[in-house]
Structures are given as C-alpha cells and as structure tokens.
Amino acid sequence: MKKVPNRNQFSGVLGFFLAAALLFSSSLFSQEPAVASDTEVAADAGTGDPVKGKQLFNQNCAACHKLNGPATGPALANVESRLADEEGLDREWIYAWVKNSAGVIASGDSYANKIYNEYNKTAMTAFPTLSNGDIDDILAYTAAPPKKIVVNGGGDGKTTPVETSGISNNIILGALALVFGMLVLMLFMVNNTLRRIAAANGLDIEKDKAEKRIPIWKAFAQNQFLVLVTVILLLLGSAYFAYGWMMQVGIDQGYEPIQPIHYSHKIHAGDNKIECKYCHSSARVSKHSGIPALNVCMNCHKNINEYTGNPEGPSAEDLANGYTNEFYTKEIKKLYKAVGWDEATQQYTGESSPVEWVRVHNLPDFAYFNHSQHVSVAGVECQTCHGPVEEMEVMYQYAPLTMGWCVNCHRETNVQVEGNAYYEKIHAELSKKYGVEQLTAAQMGGLECGKCHY
C-alpha cells in the first residue's frame, strides 16, 4: 500500500525536461503583453475605468460576488445592463444599493426585497465609502472585464540557470566517463602496439608459462585462509545490508499515499501563500496539528469553485500528471460533495460525507509529541520537520521521524527563552551551571525518557 518512490532518481531527468520545456516556452509568451494592452483599449464601458474597477472589485466585492455564477451574492457580470433590461433599474438605484442596501430593502423596493430573500436574507455590507466614480469603475469592469494581463515574469529566466547547473553536473560526469573510456581504449591500443612490436622483434612473451599457471579461482579455492577471510567478509557485508534493511522497517520517510481528494499544498501554501496555521490552527494550542475540518475549507471555497491558477495553461509536468485546471476543479467539487454544499442554491444540503484522509505522519503510540510545544513555544518552522510543504503537490513524509532524528534536533537546537517569563529563572540557573550562553533543548531536559514516553 505504501509507496516510497525514489524521487531523487527521477528529479534529475524531470529537471532536464522541465528546463528544456521552459527554455522553449519562454519565447512563446513574449507577445502576450501587446495582446493584453489591445483589449484594454478596446474596453468600452461608458465612463468608468475597468482597470481601476477590477482593483476595487477584488478589494470590496469579490468576497461575496463572482462575475459569472452565484456566490454569497448574485453574479455581477453585466450587472448594469441586466438590471436595466430586466428590472428597469438605473445606475442611481445601484448607487443607492451599494452604499446602503439595507436602506433600499427597508424602503420596500420590490427587486431589492426579492434579491434579499433569494439569497437567504444575507444582508450585503454597506459601502458608504465608495464614491459614485468608484462604482462606475466597478460597473465598467463588470461590463467588460479586461483580460488578464500576463506580465512576462522573470521566473522563467531565473529557473533556467538553476536547472542547468544541475544538468551541468550530469554533463561533467558524462564527460568524465567518456575521458575514462577513451583512456582505457588508448591503453588497450598501446598494449596491442607494444605486443606487435615485440613480436616483430622476435621477443618471446612467455606464453607457455602463463598457460601452466593454475586458474585464479582454483588458487583461491586452495588458499583456505583466503576463503575464510572472504566468507567472513561476505557474511559481515550481508549482515550489514540485512541490518540496514531491517532498520528501515517501520520508517516511512517518503511515504506519499494517494488521498481521497487531491489536495495540493503547493497551490495553497506555495502559490497562494496561505499560512500553515490558518488551516492547521490547533498546532498552536494542541498536541495535534489537526487536519482542518471541512468548514475551514469552505471559508474560501464557498467562493472559489473552480481552479484558475494557470491562465497560461498547465505546465508540461503538470500535464504529464494530469493536473489540469479541470482536474483541480473536479477536486473542489469533491469537497462540495463531502461537505454537502449545493452550488446551485449556494446552501448546505446537510448531507455530508466526512473525508477519510490517509494519515501521512504516524508516530507510534508510545511516543508523545506536542505540536504546540514546538510551534508556539519553540517557534519551530513547520518546514523544519515537514519539509518544503509549499512545494509539495502531494504531501509526503519528509523526515524519518525516528527517535535519533528527534534527539539530534534536541541536541542542536537552542531553547527560545526570550520574552518567556517561564524560562527566566531556570535558564539563568542552568546556563550558569553548564557554562553556556544558550541552552539546548537537551540541556533543558529534552532528552529524558519520560518527557516523550508515558
């Protein structure tokens, strides 16, 4: 069930392809900005500035509204023309609504009440700070949103040299192998030439003697001491490997199980820079970091119902793995199904099916580990133990989680005592006793058996 792929082996090869792909692809995008600026000019929306409008939209409206499709509030694409056509409402009505929706509802306006009831009587926040001009801008944006401006990032340029340095190692190695191969060949040729010269000069190369020699394996078999030594060495060698193999039993470093929902830490923690402890909030106060409850996911995913992270299309690597935008969107739908969220009505159906995640980090029962001790008290970064999670498409176990690994860190890590009144006295006394400036966790008692085993 557990798969431990040898990532290192593949990474080089993958890296090579990736670098190549990037190298070629970068040139393809060079004309994009021009296209974008074209549309900007083409945007025709009365008086407003759609670029400014987009910014305002994202700041004020996007939490509850989407351009297409309902969210907490209705879709806003072409809202002005829709209102004008269907309800006969003008821009003044929109100004009034945005600045004080409750007031409009209270005034008994029929459409206002209709929409209020339709969206579960969720009152829209009043925006008295938005000027009419701002609202014009937003309306301009909703009428014809500018296409995404893709700034040709320096990322491509930056990554390539890093990757080539990795490849250059391979080239150097290859070149070395080639040189050695040629050396062998040359030696062989020199040897042949010398023999030919010798033969030509009539020198005897004592072939007969060589034929009479006992074959080396026979000589080896006859030398009992050598046999004994070899056997001992072989036994020791196999014992070494057997021990090594047995010691890895139960160590699941690199354990990368397939999860019921393909949750990408890379997208959440990496691309979107969501703080780890936003979702794993109990890591601050509890021994468990906690797998976030689905309602935490819904804090954002109520609005984010599709994946649009890759406007330029998925990379070759992602494509190879099938990580397309549609793929991710499908995973979001899985979440909706699990939490029982009906997208059409924007309501919870109440029929949920909890997600059965496969636990990646499994400490044995007899080892006590407390996240809050490390996260809140010691201020250890999550990545110290969990690795570059922000780069992990699929979560895997980064550290071996063995006792030796724990103990090593306790030996090397200083206790973070600044500003913590608890440590003041004990640190002053203990550091004096040990004659050090800074105490390690081990000196503080972090190696005592009972601190982790009870």
The residues that touch another protein, with contacts defined as CB under 8 A, are 1-2, 249-250, 252, 257, 282, 285-288, 290-296, 338-340, 352, 354-359, 362, 364-368, 370, 372-373, 376-377, 419-426, 429-430, 433, 445, 448-451, 453-454
Sequential DSSP letters for 21-43: HHHHHHHHGGGHHHHHHHHHHH-
Q: At closest approach, how far in Å is the CB of 435 from another protein?
A: 14
Nearer to another protein (CB atom), residue 96 or residue 358: 358
Structure tokens at 226: 């050598």
Q: At closest approach, how far in Å is the CB of 395 from another protein?
A: 12
Nearer to another protein (CB atom), residue 210 or residue 449: 449
Structure tokens at 247: 């010691």
Cβ–Cβ < 8 Å for 65, 76: yes
**Measured between alpha carbons, how far is 406 from 116 in angstroms, rounded to an integer?**
56
Q: At closest approach, how far in Å is the CB of 440 from another protein?
A: 15
Q: At closest approach, how far in Å is the CB of 19 from another protein?
A: 36
Nearer to another protein (CB atom), residue 54 or residue 268: 268
Q: At closest approach, how far in Å is the CB of 453 from another protein?
A: 4
Nearer to another protein (CB atom), residue 132 or residue 376: 376
Nearer to another protein (CB atom), residue 67 or residue 335: 335
Nearer to another protein (CB atom), residue 148 or residue 284: 284
Buried b (16+ CB within 10 A) or exposed e, 49-76: bbbbbbebbeebbbebbbbeebbebbeb
Nearer to another protein (CB atom), residue 22 or residue 426: 426
Sequential DSSP letters for 409-430: HHHHPBP--TT-TTHHHHHHHH
Cβ burial, residue 118 (10 Å; 0-12/13-18/19+): middle
Q: Cα 48–52–57 angle (5° rounding)?
A: 95
**Measured between alpha carbons, how far is 431 from 428 in angstroms, rounded to an integer?**
6
Q: At closest approach, how far in Å is the CB of 398 from another protein?
A: 17
Nearer to another protein (CB atom), residue 36 or residue 377: 377
**Measured between alpha carbons, how far is 118 from 320 in angstroms, rounded to an integer?**
43
Q: At closest approach, how far in Å is the CB of 390 from another protein?
A: 21
**Measured between alpha carbons, how far is 423 from 438 in angstroms, rounded to an integer?**
12
Identify the sign of the CA torsion 274, 279, 284, 288: negative
In 3D, which of 112, 146, 119 has the Cα closest to residue 65?
119
